[in-house]
């Protein structure tokens, strides 16, 4: 287990963050409607492992369905660098980092990380969907 602090940002740079990540714990992709349409590739972490360095005021919040997640995005460029929420099945408060928004990552770290798939389209969060190639 190797946890390292990574820096990240949205496309325009107004939102900047730091996150303590361990890629050996794996990344995630989901086929729910928002993850599918935004091609999300994330990592779930504890809220204390995510720190907004600048641009909190540049974020807008989108919620839908159960309103359990805050899908945060930059109002200027539209990029979703991270999110926050409360998911009882994951132990309560969580944060998620969009690994594509990391600025100082060696891309082989992400490519080599395990990927877990969730069938969010059918509310079967703990099992992969039948098809994952498009995620």
pLDDT digits (tens, 9 = 90+) for 22-50: 999 999 999 999 999 999 999 999 999 99
pLDDT recorded at residue 114: 96
Q: Is the pLDDT of residue 101 over 80?
A: yes
pLDDT recorded at residue 65: 85
| 91 lies in some domain | yes
Tally of domains within the chain: 1
Q: Is the pLDDT of residue 131 over 90?
A: yes
Q: What is the CA radius of gyration of the chain?
A: 14
Burial 1-40 (b: 16+ CB within 10 A, else e): eeeeebebbbeeebbbbbbebebeeebbbbbbebbbeeeb
Residues spanned by the domain of 85: 4-114
pLDDT recorded at residue 87: 85
Q: Rounded to the nearest 5°, which phi and psi values hold at 67?
A: 60, 30
Q: What is the CATH number of the domain that holds 63?
A: 2.170.150.70
């Amino acid at each position: 287990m190797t946890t390292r602090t990574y820096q990240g940002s949205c496309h325009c740079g107004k939102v900047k963050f730091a996150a303590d990540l361990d890629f050996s714990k794996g990344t995630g992709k989901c086929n729910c409607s928002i993850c599918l349409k935004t091609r999300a590739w994330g990592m779930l972490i504890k809220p204390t492992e995510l720190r907004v360095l600048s641009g909190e005021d540049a974020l807008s919040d989108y919620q839908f369905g159960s309103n359990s997640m805050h899908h945060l995005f930059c109002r200027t460029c539209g990029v979703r660098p991270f999110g926050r929420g409360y998911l009882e099945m994951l132990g309560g408060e969580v944060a998620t980092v969009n690994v594509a928004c990391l600025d100082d990552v060696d891309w082989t770290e992400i490519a080599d990380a395990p990927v877990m798939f969730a069938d969010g389209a059918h509310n079967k969060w703990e099992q992969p969907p039948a098809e994952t190639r498009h995620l």
